[in-house]
Structure 1
Amino acid sequence: MDEYQKELMNALPGLKESLPQPFWRLAEVFRNQVFELCTADGEEGTLEYYVPYMMNDAAESYFMMEKCHMTGEYQPEETENTSAELITEETGYALIVRQASGNVFTLWFANLRWKEHFYQYHGIGHFWRKGQEQWRQLVYMAGTLHDKCVYLGDEACSEKEKALFHLIEFGPFRKWSPIQEDLEEKYPPTYEGIDCMRQLAREAGDWKYERLLCVYKKFPFRWLETWLSRRLEKPSREALYQLIYEKIRAASCEYPVRRYQEEEQYRIDVCRQEADTFLRGKGFQGTYPEYYKESMWIQAAEEQPFTILESSDYVFRIYFMISERKKGRCGRNSGFFHGRGRRSRVAEFKGNESLS
C-alpha cells in the first residue's frame, strides 16, 4: 500500500484494499472536499442518487448508487468540511456523511457504479473576460483536456490529447485566462510546456516565436513570460493560433457530440437552425458553426449544459465571435488579433439584434 492509498483510507474510514476502484475514487471526493449529492427521478417513481466526480465540457463522470435510500436529510448549501465513513455489510454498503453544521445523514446502497461519458469540446465558448477571446477560448480547451487526463487517467485520453497535455503549462499561453483568477497555481509552468509550444511554433512555420522560446527556456523570467504572452496578440501569431485550434479540434472530434433528452435536444436543434437562418439572411455563407462574408468571419460557440446532474437555471446559449478585416481575407477569428484594420466582438445570439 502506497502513501496515497493510506491518505485515501484516512479520508474515507472504512475503505478497504479489497474494494473496487469506484470506492477509491469516492474517497478522493472527500479528500478534495468536493462532495455533492444529486438526485433524479428514476423508473416507477423511484429516486436515484448520484455523486459527481469530474464534470466539465469534455467529460461527465459520476457515481450512481444502486438501490439507494437515505435516512436523514442532505443540506446542499453546506459544501465544506464534509466527512464520511463507509460501512460494508453483507447486503450492501452504508455511507455515513457528516456536514459542517453537525448534520448527519446516511446513504444505504447495494453497489456503487462508476459512469463516465466523453464529448466534443472544441465548440465550447465561455466569455467571462474581454480581450483576446480567441486565445482565452483555447486556454479553456487546453485546461479542459488537461484536467480530463489528470483526474480520469491516461486511458480516458486519446493520443492526440496526450500530445497537447503540457500546452496549458506554457506560462505565456496560460496567462490568457478565461476566468478572473490567474491559473498559475492550478497549472504551474514547466519546461515540458515550453517544449510543447516550441514544437507547435515549428509546425506552424513561426520561426521567430520558436527562437524566442529557446531564449525563454534558458531564462524563464517573469517579465519575459509577460512579454511573450503579449506577442501572442500580434497578427504574426495567427498561423500558430490556427494550428493549435485545429489540433484541439481534431482531438475533440474523436468523441461524440452531446445528446439530450428529446424535448431539450429539439430546443437546441431549433436554436442552431435559427442561428444558421439568421446569418444566411444577412448574406453569410458557410455551415454551422463557421460563416464568412466579404471581410467578415463569424464563429459560433456554445455554452452547453451537462446531459445529467445540471442545475435547472443553466441553459444552452450561442455566441457569435465576430471578426472583421479591412484588407485581406478574414479567417477564423482573425479580427481578434491586434492590428490595423482588424476589429472583433462577441455577441450572444438573440435574434435580429445579434449583429447590431
Structure 2
Amino acid sequence: MKEKLPFKSEYEKLELLLSQGQFELLLPEGKAAGDIRLVYLMNDAAESFLVFCRAKLTGTYLPDFQGELWADLDQDGDQYVLVVHQEDTVCTLFFQDLKLEVHLFDYGRTGHFWVKGYEYLRQLEYRIAILRDKREYLGEEFCSQEERILSSLAEFPPLNFCCYPAVSEKYLVPSCSWWQVSEEALHVMIQLAEEAGDRGLKKWIGLYRRIPVKCIAKQIARMLHRVKHAEVTDLINEKLAQAASVYERRDFGAGCPKEKQKTQDHQPDREVSEKILRIQEKAQQRKTQLEMSGKQVEMLTEEPFIYAKDSVEYKIHLMIWKQEGKNRKVEIETIDER
C-alpha cells in the first residue's frame, strides 16, 4: 500500500518515528475533528510535525507511553485509518491527508551547558549534531550548501561526542559508530585548517586520514583546545553562525507567529515578552561590565520551543573566555529571572 500513497515520503517519516517508539500527538482543543500534529524533529534548529489533516482520534491514546509501538494503515473510502498499538492499548486516527510541517530557526547562538570542561567545544558539537539531525530527518532540501558541508563534521571524532559530548553519557545517542571518521569530515577539516592557516593541525589531520585510530583522534582533540589552534575552532563557530543566521529567531512576544497567536491569548505573550526583555537587559548590562574589565564575552541563548510546550526556561549564558597556559577555557555565567 505504501507505494500507492500520495504521501509516501511523509509515511516513511511516520514509520521511522514508530520504529523508534515515538508517538507524541498534539491534539486540538475543543474540537471533535481537525488537524492533529505528531511531533517529528524538535531541536534548536527545527520544530517539525507530521500533520494528520482533517483528523479524528478515537480509542485511548497514552501521551506518556514509553515502550514498543506498532501500527497498521488502511484506507476506507476517501479517508485513511491508522491503528496504533501502545502495548495493550489501542487508538485510531481517521484522517484525509498526511503532511510535513517544518519551522526552521537560527541555532547559531544557542547554548546548553550540561557538561563541564571546554564548554565552547561542546557547543560546537551540539550545533553540528542538531544540524546533522536536521539534514538526516528532514532532508537536504532543508539545508543550505554550507550546512550540508558543516554537518559532515558530526563524523569527526576529535570534535564530536567521542571527545566533547554536549550531554552526559546516559543521554547520549550517537549519530554514528564510536570513533568512526568519514572521508567527507576529514576533507572539510583539512580545508578549515588551510583557511585558518594552521599547518600543524592540517599535518595531524593528514596523518589521521592515513591512520584513522583512536590515539591520533585524541591528540587532535587536545590540539583543538589549545590557544595555538584557536583560529580553527573560531572559524567553525563563525561558519555555523553565518549558516544559521538566514533563519528566523524564535519570537516569544507580541510578534509570535500567527499560528501560535490562534492558540494563546495575548496576555501570556506580553508577560513572557516582558520577562525575556528583563533577562536580556540584565545579561547585556553584565556583558558590558565584563567587557569594560577587559574580558572577552560571548552571549548565548537557551530558549523553549515555540510550537510545542517543553520544560526549558528562557536563559542567557555568558561565555567568558580565559587562557590557562596553552589552553583556552571559559567560565559560564547564567542570567535568568531569579
Interval of TM-score (by shorter of Structure 1 and Structure 2):
0.7 to 0.9
Question: Which sections of structure 2, spanning at least 5 residues, go unmatched?
Answer: 257-265
Distance 1:278 1:73 in 2: 47
Letter paired with 1:72: G
1:142 and 1:164 in contact (8 A); partners too: yes
TM-score, normalised to structure 2, is: 0.85
2:287 and 2:297 in contact (8 A); partners too: no
Structure 1 equivalent of residue 204 of structure 2: 212
Provide the secondary structure at the position in 2 that maps to 1:68. strand
RMSD: 2.6
Deviation for aligned residue 1:292: 2.7
1:36 and 1:79 in contact (8 A); partners too: no
Q: 1:136-285 to 2 correspondence within 5 Å? A: 136-174=122-160, 175-181=163-169, 186=176, 188-260=180-252, 261=256, 266-267=270-271, 269-278=273-282, 281=285, 284=288
1:171 and 1:184 in contact (8 A); partners too: no
Provide the secondary structure at the position in 2 that maps to 1:164. helix
Letter paired with 1:189: V
Structure 2 equivalent of residue 83 of structure 1: 70
Single out whichever of 188-197 and 136-145 deviates more from structure 2.
188-197
Deviation for aligned residue 1:118: 0.9
TM-score, normalised to structure 1, is: 0.81
Match of 1:27 among 8, 15, 20: 15
Provide the secondary structure at the position in 2 that maps to 1:19. coil
Structure 2 equivalent of residue 9 of structure 1: none
Question: Which sections of structure 1, spanning at least 5 residues, go unmatched?
Answer: 1-13, 286-290, 324-334
Distance change in 2, residues 1:71/1:192 (3 Å): same
Deviation for aligned residue 1:235: 0.8
Provide the secondary structure at the position in 1 that maps to 2:146. helix
2:119 and 2:330 in contact (8 A); partners too: no
Single out whichever of 297-306 and 193-202 deviates more from structure 2.
297-306
Quick one: percent identity of the two aligned structures? 27
Distance change in 2, residues 1:303/1:267 (3 Å): farther
Structure 2 equivalent of residue 37 of structure 1: 25
Q: 1:315-334 to 2 correspondence within 5 Å? A: 315-323=313-321
Match of 1:119 among 105, 113, 116: 105
Structure 1 equivalent of residue 325 of structure 2: 339
> After superposition, what is the alpha-carbon deviation per residue over 1:126-168, rounded to whole angstroms, capped at 9, x for unaligned?
1110011101001101111111111111111111101212112
Distance 2:268 2:196 in 1: 40
Provide the secondary structure at the position in 2 that maps to 1:108. strand
